[in-house]
Amino acid sequence: LSLHFYILPHSLCLPPYLPPPQQSDMNSFLWTVRREPPHPPSYLFGTIHVPYTRVWDFIPDSSKRAFHRSSNVFFELDLTDPLTISKLTSCQLLPHGENLQTLLPRDLYRRLKRHLDYVKHMMPYWMTADQRGRGLYADYLFNAIAGNWERKRPVWVMLMVNSLTEWDVRSRGTPVLDLFLAQEAERMGKTTGAVERVEEQCHPLNGLNFSQVLFALNQTLLQHEGVRAGSLQGSYTTEDLITHYNCGDLSSIIFNHDTSQLPHFINSTLPAHDRTTAQQIDSYFRQELIYKRNERMARRVSALLQRNPTQTYFFAFGAGNRGLDTGEG
Ligand SMILES: *[C@@H]1O[C@H](CO)[C@@H](O)[C@H](O)[C@H]1NC(C)=O
Ligand SMILES: *[C@@H]1O[C@H](CO)[C@@H](O)[C@H](O)[C@H]1NC(C)=O
Ligand SMILES: *[C@@H]1O[C@H](CO)[C@@H](O)[C@H](O)[C@H]1NC(C)=O
């Protein structure tokens, strides 16, 4: 595995973060997997789950050429496959006959409902003129993201609440980088595929126990209520993630907790008992969603390459954040 990885000169990594004029100054998250000649190389590319327009100009031509040369493009999940989307949706639902109103403690349910009513009310103000110009309506967008929330498992409602910030709403309607690559691959007649099954992404999240989920939902609501009340700054983690990605800062993307798109609850001011719960949830997520998945995906990549030595593959996987795609585009 050889690494094509350039760190931008530091001066280029200061606001306003314009793409560097020289290709050689651009970072890339592209690795080449060389194989015995005459077999062609394959590629591993780190993507990011944000609107592709925010990062596209920072991706160097060498990465784009590798994509064009590859006749097979593989993702974690194949998001262009309608079956993937419908499986993701149903995996997030409560068992038949259950709903959040009966499941959650009454106070937590009320706070959740109040928060979602607030989001629904704010949605038209958060949307941009550009989004409206493209025919995106606030009601439609709210329903697409949160429509069926009472039927969702609490852990997925917690992730949904996290993705209902002004920032995230404003960036809806533009495909995220991984989806954009999948659409391009389809358009160009490439073979697309996935190395994970929906259940493998979904079940670990459903595996947190009820008290952990209540804790996570409560903390998430507290954060968002704080933002609403103006006592807490909105979190700019996605914006930071984009900056790190565009600056080629791999270690921040992978290792810095602040840039992970998973919510983080560890807060030094939490009481000791709550801090323990936060740490347990955090290490559970790391174990299940990062380490175990990495190993499984590596085994599948290796098997594909060994079975098909004459084919060129382009594997596009999340660079650090494991984009927990909630399936609503
Ligand atoms: C949930 O899991 C945590 C950590 O494994 C454990 O300490 C706690 O007792 C569990 N709670 C329930 C209700 O099972
Ligand atoms: C939510 O968290 C706060 C602060 O840690 C705590 O006082 C409250 O009892 C929690 N509520 C629920 C429903 O767990
Ligand atoms: C940490 O928790 C305290 C008490 O719940 C809260 O006031 C504070 O804003 C939190 N800090 C962050 C960064 O979430």
Taking only the tens place, the pLDDT of each residue in 13-37 is: 666 667 766 766 666 789 999 988 8
Nearest-10 crossing angle of helices 198-206, 292-307: 170
Note whether residue 326 is domain-resident: no
Q: Give the residue with greater pLDDT, 77 vs 11.
A: 77
Calculate ∠ Cα 271-262-17, nearest 5°.
115
Q: Are 320 and 254 in contact (CB under 8 A)?
A: yes
Which of the listed residues 232, 236, 270 should we mutate to test ligand 3's pocket, taking the one with most ligand atoms within 8 A of CB?
232
| Closest ligand relative to 219 C-alpha | 2
Count of structural domains, the chain: 1
Note whether residue 248 is domain-resident: yes
Q: pLDDT digits over 222-235, tens only?
A: 989 988 888 666 65
**pLDDT for 91:** 93
Nearest CA to ligand 1 atom 11: 211
Q: pLDDT digits over 169-193, tens only?
A: 888 888 999 999 999 999 999 999 9
Average pLDDT, the chain: 84
**pLDDT for 325:** 42
Which of the listed residues 215, 218, 224, 281 should we mutate to test ligand 2's pocket, taking the one with most ligand atoms within 8 A of CB?
218
Q: Are 160 and 146 in contact (CB under 8 A)?
A: yes
Note whether residue 328 is domain-resident: no
Q: Give the residue with greater pLDDT, 67 vs 202.
A: 67
Q: pLDDT digits over 106-134, tens only?
A: 999 999 999 999 999 999 999 999 999 98
Residue 151 Cα, ligand 2 centroid: separation in angstroms?
23
Note whether residue 323 is domain-resident: no
Residue 278 Cα, ligand 2 centroid: separation in angstroms?
13
**pLDDT for 319:** 78
**pLDDT for 2:** 38
Note whether residue 304 is domain-resident: yes
**pLDDT for 8:** 42
Note whether residue 28 is domain-resident: yes
Ligand 2: list residues with CB < 6 Å. Answer: 105, 107-108, 214, 218, 222, 274
Q: Give the residue with greater pLDDT, 84 vs 328.
A: 84
Nearest CA to ligand 1 atom 1: 209
Residue 233 Cα, ligand 3 centroid: separation in angstroms?
11
Q: pLDDT digits over 238-269, tens only?
A: 777 788 888 877 665 554 444 344 566 766 67
What is the rounded CA–CA span in Å between residue 220 and residue 217? Answer: 5
**pLDDT for 226:** 87
Nearest CA to ligand 2 atom 6: 218
**pLDDT for 36:** 86
**Which helix (DSSP H) or strand (DSSP E) does residue 72 occupy?**
strand 72-75
Q: Are 41 and 283 in contact (CB under 8 A)?
A: no
**pLDDT for 324:** 45
Q: Give the residue with greater pLDDT, 81 vs 154.
A: 154
Residue 218 Cα, ligand 2 centroid: separation in angstroms?
6
**Distance, first Cα to last Cα, the chain:** 33
- Comparing 20-24, 52-56, 209-213, 296-300, the range with the smallest average pLDDT is 20-24
Residue 173 Cα, ligand 1 centroid: separation in angstroms?
39
**pLDDT for 286:** 82
Note whether residue 329 is domain-resident: no
Nearest CA to ligand 2 atom 3: 218
What is the rounded CA–CA span in Å between residue 183 and residue 180? Answer: 5
Mean pLDDT of 93-102: 96
Which residue segment(s) compose the domain that 58 sits in? 2-318
- Comparing 56-60, 219-223, 270-274, 323-327, the range with the smallest average pLDDT is 323-327
**Does any ligand 1 atom lie closer than 6 A to the CB of residue 280?**
yes
Kindly give the number of the ligand 1 atom that is closest to the alpha carbon of 212: 1
Mean pLDDT of 272-299: 87
Note whether residue 21 is domain-resident: yes
**Does any ligand 1 atom lie closer than 6 A to the CB of residue 212?**
yes
pLDDT above 70 covers a percentage of the chain that reads 81
